[in-house]
Amino acid sequence: MKIINNLFCLTLFVALTSGTVSAADQQPESAPPDAEALFNLTQVWKFHLKFAADQWQAIEPKRNPNAGGFGRGPNDARNPSRAAELLAPVLMSQADRDRNGTLSAEEFATLGRSWFQNWDKTGAGTLTQSQFSAGFNAIRSPIGGGLPLVGAEGKRNGIASVIGFEFDYVHADLEIAGKTIADVAVRYKGNGTFLELGDNPKRSLKIAFDKFQKGQKLAGVTTLNLQNNVTDVSYMNEVLAYRLFRDAGVPAPRTTYAQVYITVAGQFEQRYFGLYSVTENVDSDFANSRFAPSQKGVFFKPVTPQIFADLGADWAPYNQLYDPKSKPTDEQKRAITELCRLATQADDREFTSRIGQFIDLPELARYMAVLVY
């Protein structure tokens, strides 16, 4: 019986991902009334997005013409001009202390002195070729993968942004379970997953219900993320991981699944784009459903090769690296800068006595327990 059940589940999964089973046959009679009904792992929704032709054209990401691509030939990272393009953002992020987009002679000299001190491991006052090579490789690969992830000030972070892709919202209508939500905002999302797709049209999407229509929501939710799972053939890694965190009492997004169909006026009707996992956005709705109203805070999405590195007391060098999703207060800025100073500069005694002022240690313990489980 167990073998039969497993075969049935596998057959159903293949059918869902191939589109041979109609999601419409499984749809409830009405749209989900609340988030609990929406994020239901026993339900595969049908999401039907409808675009005007000009909006479908506009959703294609704009790209800086000076940015390169991937692959062999002139866009290969081994090409000297391509290597310089990838290296320049790393150098700028390390040297541009005031984050104004330019380097002064003093900033450039300060960076050089810092490199020399770090690379001169023996304190000889000179560098050998092997020391120089090791140090240079370290600055080329500050995050392990050899590519910079910090975008321009005010832009998205991530490799897609760094090499020039910009994802703009366009207008669309969303139909779900017989209900049409008009004028939602849709854009592509992702970094590595976006770049891996090539010409595959199944791109991850972000849907913002209230960007063009203030106060508009679906089931009490303002924003949804549609993940294409291009790197997860099981379609379950993220879904099950979030479930495990939630079961352990760690705040984590809720999820469901949807078969996504797209209509573009005058071009095609209800074309099936595939099965997506649908993930709750980490935003004010998320916070309001997990935390007490008195717990005021701000979400950060840090992208930095050296988390908690001490960059000084001024907030400017931290802003793009830590990417706050709302405007932080002066007190919240100080909390980050002081935590970074504590983590980088404090001795064991000071660190132990003060870390609880910045980190919810029981919450961190639950998170780490699941992470290493």
Per-residue pLDDT reduced to its tens digit, 175-191: 999 999 999 999 999 88
Q: Is the confidence at residue 261, as pLDDT, over 50?
A: yes
* Cα–Cα distance measured from residue 319 to residue 327, given in angstroms and rounded to the nearest whole number: 10
- Tell me what the mean pLDDT of segment 79-101 comes to: 61
**Mean per-residue pLDDT over the chain, rounded:** 82
Phi, psi of 274 (to 5 degrees): 120, 175
pLDDT tens-place string over residues 313-360:
889 888 988 999 999 999 999 999 999 999 988 999 999 999 999 999
Q: Which residue has the tokens 């840090």?
A: 302
pLDDT tens-place string over residues 274-293:
999 999 999 989 998 888 87
pLDDT tens-place string over residues 100-140:
778 889 988 888 888 888 888 888 999 888 888 777 766 65
| Contact in structure between 298 and 324 (CB atoms under 8 Å) | yes
* Cα–Cα distance measured from residue 250 to residue 242, given in angstroms and rounded to the nearest whole number: 9
At a CB cut-off of 8 Å and minimum separation 6, what does 302 contact?
321, 322, 323
At 258, is the pLDDT very low, low, confident or very high (cuts 50, 70, 90)? very high
| Closest by CA position to 37, among listed 176, 139, 149 | 176
pTM for this predicted structure: 0.72
* Cα–Cα distance measured from residue 149 to residue 201, given in angstroms and rounded to the nearest whole number: 24
162 vs 19, higher pLDDT: 162
Percent of the chain predicted with pLDDT > 70: 81
For residue 77, how many other CB atoms are within 10 A of its CB? Answer: 16
